Amino acid sequence: MSKIYLDPGHGGTDPGAVGNGLQEKNVNLTIALKTRDILNRDYEGHSIRMSRTSDTTRSLAQRTNDANSWGADYFVSIHINAGGGTGYEDYIYNGSVSNNTVTYRDRVHAEIMRQVDFRNRGKKRANFHVLRESNMPAVLTENGFIDTVADANKLKSDAYLNRIALGHANGIAQALGLRRKSGGGSTYTVQSGDTLWSIAQAHNMTVQQLKDLNGLTDDTIYPGQVLIVSSVGAVYHTVQSGETLWGIAQQYNTTVSAIRSLNGLTGDIIRPGQRLRVR
């Protein structure tokens, strides 16, 4: 069982970098939660612990102490850059590191760059606390520049944050050798020139079915994107008291409209004990 420690940078009284109407702490948390959900949805053989799951203050020492005492196998710290640049980069410790630290980072870097169209700023090394004081392989990712309009506009898109999270999740899974869940439905990797219509035709489904399975709100797709093209191994959720469609959709990294479509709902009314298909 691989232990993955996800660390959304900053939080609480520490907003991190700020720009273009965004606070780094919030974007970091969104990406980390999405990464967690994708890993739990698509892979098995792991457990996940997070330094925070809400807008709380955690010191750097608290984060690494928590990961070390838990015995994590991989520490992934998620951040947004600032300083007027553009693009994606990641860091490992600039001192002595294990071979796994380098190999794991290479796989994470490759998968993130496969999913996003940020400028590739490269693989770097630094003396950051979370990289230096963690006892396990560790990486810190910098996902665009919050104070650059072009990057910030991407970070304001939930669909783009899904792409960033998918890159993190797939990279972590490859690094740790996680198994894809069996019976989870088949997938298709988008090729250059593909459209939703051509993919739907090739898999004997409608464009709307394809969009619903993947939580897509428009027709935008990109080469390298992994789409679910079969609903084999559907996932269900039993509604608990106080839950909303929005909350359930967030939990399973999907959309309210997708859940409505899968269950034939015309509104947002749900009841405790109701069994909903969420994938």
How confident is the model over 84-131, as pLDDT tens digits? 999 999 999 999 999 999 999 999 999 999 889 999 999 999 999 999
Task: Say which residue, 171 or 247, is predicted with more confidence.
Answer: 171
Cα gap 276→247, rounded to integer Å: 13
Q: Give the burial string for 20-50 (b: 16+ CB within 10 Å, else e).
A: eebbbbbbbbbbbbbbbbbbbbbbeebebbb
Report residue 81 CA to chain centroid gap.
17
Tens digit of each residue's pLDDT (9 = 90 or more) over 35-68: 998 888 888 899 999 999 999 999 999 999 999 9
User: Quick check: 5 and 64 in contact, CB under 8 A?
Assistant: no
- Residue of 278, 178, 164 lying closest to 231 (CA atoms): 278
Tens digit of each residue's pLDDT (9 = 90 or more) over 218-264: 888 887 777 777 655 556 777 888 888 888 888 777 888 888 877 66
Task: Say which residue, 181 or 133, is predicted with more confidence.
Answer: 133
User: Quick check: 152 and 146 in contact, CB under 8 A?
Assistant: yes
- The residue type of 93 is Y
Cα gap 214→196, rounded to integer Å: 11
pTM for the whole structure? 0.70
Tokens for 231? 């609903």
pLDDT band at residue 215 under the 50/70/90 scheme: low
Cα gap 164→141, rounded to integer Å: 10
The catalytic residue positions are: 142
The percent of residues in the chain predicted with pLDDT above 90, rounded, is 56
